[in-house]
Structure 1
């Protein structure tokens, strides 16, 4: 069957099958094969949207939710040269999807509360955010399990169903469609958080690159000015003249210091001069200069006179007598002030 002859249901289900296969694909997201499937699925959903409008099967408030959700998801998977544009369009699809779900009263109370928190950017403590993440993780796991069970019962792998349904399966299929939409709502709100974070990151990167490009331009301009002005070699700088000429170009080398840091160092500097060397270094230096004599600290032993040395014994006797005479003539304290008063 040619693509032009395919029905709306066939076009939609083919695009949806491709999308679901991408969700569990082992291919690298930036591989050619993966990106080809992304592009094909996007074209399928865009064609489905065009067929809905052309055939006037639904009003603007009816059942375009699925297509908007899928397009929003696929644009996040696409690798392009303008990521910010894809993020912006993806957010528009998600916003439209949530608006239609709210119009049809499909949003649950927990989803409405969570959406209001996202819109208001309500600050929450770490424990609250952690509890919310755990609860939403459990809910996502539960919905995945239920969707798998519905697919098993209905014998389908997508949200659509071709053919007649028995009366006993009609109610289950209705619950399946509603659960599918609730799961899409859940994923949409998670993706909106990710889009906001990625947009902020990409804008910061653009600002940084723009600043770096401006600096590179300024550097290049300075280099051209130097070459044009014939800047001289550093060996013939004027060491005593002014720092800069009237145009602001430096005329001699100088060092830019942080005055605030210099003042802080002066304020918190100790009042006394800090030592420039250790005690061991000082002693080593004095020894090298010859200001310290090496040797032991013990007093020299008194030389004893031999008993057979009569001259030596006589000299020692005379020395002892003279010392006794000196002590008699000079009592202790004689030289102190006021020591002889009395």
Structure 2
């Protein structure tokens, strides 16, 4: 029984919404976990199936314009944009595998931009970048300037343009008349077109990033060749590393070393009569030194007492003496030392004579008070 176009359209819409939901959930999951892998696989398969359905339904034609498209079909123009973003998240193990991933993603971005160009949705700025990309896909850069100042200005202009688109898109979606099913069709259509404009801007930026990543991957050193086993095979065709004993158990003493395995008898001699080691041993310089260090503490013990440390610091001049409350205590006069007493008396008399000759305020002739 054939499927009606209405059923296919409804199936495409449901499949696209589910794939978008799984794609958004990837950002909240830890990379390469089972949950992340499941969400990634479902999103990739969902958008791939959406692309197949849209082509089977002939949803987009080469002889129509953007005005010929129904408003409900506009979101499906971004299927290959979503496929490119999902492809970039593909896990890889080697640089060569990553090269294939990013090239495939770039092809999806190119297919998306080609479709946008067909419907005249690129505008003047993005159309110029798209043409430069077609001229040289591997050397394309979203900012066509080599001067550092010019590149900085171009980056700021690009950031401002993206910010303006996002603000306009948020304003449109916040409008109460914006309802995807049954809302104001003109408002919904304008919102869908603004979202496509944002995806065009992001696609060109991501192609720029992809090209820079390809340049880095091209400079990665080649992997060393994998060693191939050239050892002799056993009589039964097996690997000698899987030799077994007479009892049928694996021979655990097998080693790829050229010398024979050492004896595992700890009580036996260390050396054979010919001087060949029979079991592992360690050469030590002084047995007594090792013996003394067995029961010592794990931390370093002090080498001097606190008093010895303070004496050493005092000898080095690192301790300042004097000051504090003790410096305010006047020493008791020595009554037996007459010379010192006379000197103190003469000093006091001279000070009294000075104060008599120079009364307080005598020199203050301008600002008395």
TM-score when normalising by structure 2:
0.49
The answer as to 2:112 corresponding to 1:97 is yes
Match of 1:137 among 154, 159, 170: 159
Correspondence for 1:163 among 175, 178, 181: 181
Alignment match of 1:65 (pick from 77, 86, 90): 77
TM-aligned CA deviation for residue 140 of structure 1: 1.5
Q: Matches of 1:6 and 1:33 in 2, distance apart?
A: 28
Q: Is the 8 A contact 1:68 1:93 kept in 2?
A: yes
The answer on whether the counterparts of 1:154 and 1:173 sit within 8 Å (CA) in structure 2 is no
The Cα of 1:155 is off from its aligned counterpart by: 8.2
Offset of residue 189 of structure 1:
0.4
- State the 1:117 CA deviation: 4.7
Task: For residues 120-167 of structure 1, give each alpha carbon's deviation from its aligned partner in whole angstroms, at most 9, with x where no partner exists.
Answer: 5555211111111111112222222222233333688xxxx65323xx
Residue of structure 1 in register with 2:50 after alignment: 48
Q: Deviations over 1:186-236 (max 9, x none)?
A: 11001101111112222322xx224x549x99xxxxxxxxxxxxxxxxxxx
Q: Which whole-Å CA distance do the structure 2 matches of 1:5 and 1:128 have between them?
A: 47
Aligned to 1:209: 222
TM-score normalised to the size of structure 1?
0.52
Distance 1:84 1:130, change over 3 A: same
Q: Kindly indicate which of the two structures has a greater share of residues assigned to helix.
A: 1
Equivalent residue for 1:19? 23
For residues 34 and 203 of structure 2, the distance between their equivalents in structure 1, rounded to whole angstroms, comes to 26
Contact 1:61–1:100 (8 Å) recurs in 2: no
Aligned residues: 202
Q: Does 1:109 align with 2:121?
A: no
SS of equivalent residue, structure 2 residue 222: helix
Relative to structure 1, the CA distance from residue 182 to residue 85 in structure 2 (aligned partners, 3 Å threshold; closer, same or farther) is same
Structure 2 unmatched runs, 5+: 1-7, 65-73, 229-369
List alignment gaps of at least 5 residues for structure 1: 218-342
**How does 1:207-246 map onto structure 2 within 5 Å?**
208-210=221-223, 212-213=224-225
Structure whose CA Rg is larger: 1
Report the equivalent of 1:29: 31
Match of 2:90 in 1: 78
Deviation per residue, 1:243-274 (Å, 9 max, x gap): xxxxxxxxxxxxxxxxxxxxxxxxxxxxxxxx
The question of 1:185 aligning with 2:200 is answered yes
Structure 2 distance, partners of 1:177, 1:197, is 31
Give the structure 1 partner of residue 41 of structure 2: 39
Contact 1:35 1:79 in 2 (8 A): no
Q: Is the 8 A contact 2:80 2:112 kept in 1?
A: yes
Q: Contact between 2:177 and 2:187, CA under 8 Å: does it hold in 1?
A: no
What does residue 88 of structure 1 align with?
A: 103
- What is the CA-CA distance between 1:98 and the residue it aligns to? 0.7
CA contact (8 A) 2:99 2:214 kept: yes
Aligned CA RMSD, in angstroms, stands at 3.0
Query: Using the alignment, how far apart are the partners of 1:52 and 1:5 within structure 2?
Result: 9
